[in-house]
Every structure is written in C-alpha cells, then in structure tokens.
Amino acid sequence: MAVYAGIDLEPGDLMEVEFEAPSQVRVVATVRNRSGYCFGLAFVAVLGRAGHEQGGLVPPEQPTNSDVEPISSSPVLRAQAVRTQDRLIAIILQRHEAFLRRKELEIRRTRQELLKVRQLQSDIEIIRDIRSSENLR
C-alpha cells in the first residue's frame, strides 16, 4: 500500500495505520520504500478492530463455522500475539531511539555551525572596525 504522510520515516521504520470504513481497523506497517513523503508499506500486524479489545494484536477474522475455535479463546495463539506485540514494541522503541540519536547529532552539528558563524561574524566586525579606523586617519 502507498501512503502520503507528512512525517519523516525511512525504509524499515514502523508506523500505525487506521482504516475507518466500514469498521475501524488499526494495523502496523513497515516502510518498504520512500519517495518524498509517499511511503510504500507492508502490513505486519493488526492492532485493533471496532468491537474488539483495543491495544492488543488482533488476529484476522475467523470463519463463522461453529467447529472452529475463535483465536481469542486459544491461550497459545493469544500468547503468540502478545510475543509478537512485544517484539513490535521493542522494534519501534529501538528505531525511535536511533531516530532520536540521529536528531541529537544533527542538533550538535547545527550548534557547532552556528558557533562558527557567530565567530566569523565577530571577526568580520573587528576587521570592519579596523578598516574604518584606518580610513579615518
């Protein structure tokens, strides 16, 4: 799926997408490619559906056949969903921390550049003062 979003994401980053028709569905997707602010996504997991408990991973819809046990009543499948959610949270946190580290480095570099610009501005003012005092003589 392609999505246009005004956020800074890179391939490999995770994002949450919510579909609102006919019922709300939230999914986790990973960015596969990027062109400006248009992102190619691949879906990873369903986070919630209208009428279901929000916040936990929700498996795909189950068949209505009464012989099939709903996934929500299977402890093994629920445990797998929790492990999957824990892994996704860990990945999101790692990528967020990496993003913050990159931004921190960017801020440090910008500060250093600003200090250099201020120093150059001060040097220019000193040179200008020297030249204007020489012109007055």
Is the torsion defined by CA of 6, 8, 13, 15 positive or negative?
A: negative
Answer yes or no: is 79 within a domain. no
Answer yes or no: is 63 within a domain. no
Answer yes or no: is 126 within a domain. no
Judge whether residue 137 has pLDDT over 80: no
pLDDT for residue 22: 74
Judge whether residue 28 has pLDDT over 90: no
Measure Cα distances from 115 to 66, 104, 108 in Å: 71, 17, 11
Answer yes or no: is 48 within a domain. yes
d(CA 109, CA 111) in angstroms, rounded, equals 5
Number of domains in the chain: 1
pTM (2 decimals)?
A: 0.41
> Which of the residue ranges 38-47, 65-74, 123-132 would you say has the lowest mean pLDDT?
65-74
Answer yes or no: is 26 within a domain. yes
Q: Transcribe 33-50 into DSSP letters.
A: EEETTEEEEEEEEEEEET
Instruction: Evaluate whether 9 touches 15 at the Cβ level (below 8 Å).
Output: yes
Q: What is the mean pLDDT of residues 65-76?
A: 49
pLDDT digits (tens, 9 = 90+) for 77-127: 666 666 777 777 777 888 888 888 999 999 999 999 999 999 999 999 999
Instruction: Evaluate whether 20 touches 48 at the Cβ level (below 8 Å).
Output: no
The structure tokens 């709903």 sit at 70
Answer yes or no: is 28 within a domain. yes
pLDDT digits (tens, 9 = 90+) for 45-70: 777 654 444 444 444 444 344 443 44
Answer yes or no: is 35 within a domain. yes
- Between 12 and 51, whose confidence is greater? 12
Is the torsion defined by CA of 90, 93, 97, 98 positive or negative?
A: positive
- The domain in which residue 13 lies consists of 1-56
